[in-house]
Amino acid sequence: NAGVTQTPKFQVLKTGQSMTLQCAQDMNHEYMSWYRQDPGMGLRLIHYSVGAGITDQGEVPNGYNVSRSTTEDFPLRLLSAAPSQTSVYFCASSYSHKGSHEQYFGPGTRLTVT
């Protein structure tokens, strides 16, 4: 199993550009999440999904869109990039075991917006 994969590893965007961060998992996990990690602020939840066709907002959703058409894929779209979106983005998947969720993280995408 490849686990959780993310592409690209690095990306530089200009302000106003749009792009999609890709995330895929091959563990048949129902739950998937997107986090951003900034120095001193830990991981913050952007969007999450509890299954194909179902998504919801997390703590910091503004400026981002998601969709979940399949169990495997959960892309994150930046609509109009801003310097405040410079961050490291992690995708994670999980399944429910007695109500708890051990998260499996991807390797991350480092995004710089100039």
Tell me the backbone φ, ψ of residue 84, rounded to 5 degrees. Answer: -70, -10
Out of 21, 23, 31, 66, name the contact with other proteins by CB under 8 A: 31
Q: Which is nearer to other proteins, 17 or 61 (CB)?
A: 61
Q: How many residues bind other proteins (CB under 8 A)?
A: 28
Q: Which is nearer to other proteins, 17 or 22 (CB)?
A: 22
Contact between 41 and other proteins per CB under 8 A: yes
Contact between 60 and other proteins per CB under 8 A: no
Least Å distance between CB 15 and other proteins? Answer: 26
User: Which range binds other proteins by CB under 8 A, 17-25, 37-45, 60-68, 69-77?
Assistant: 37-45
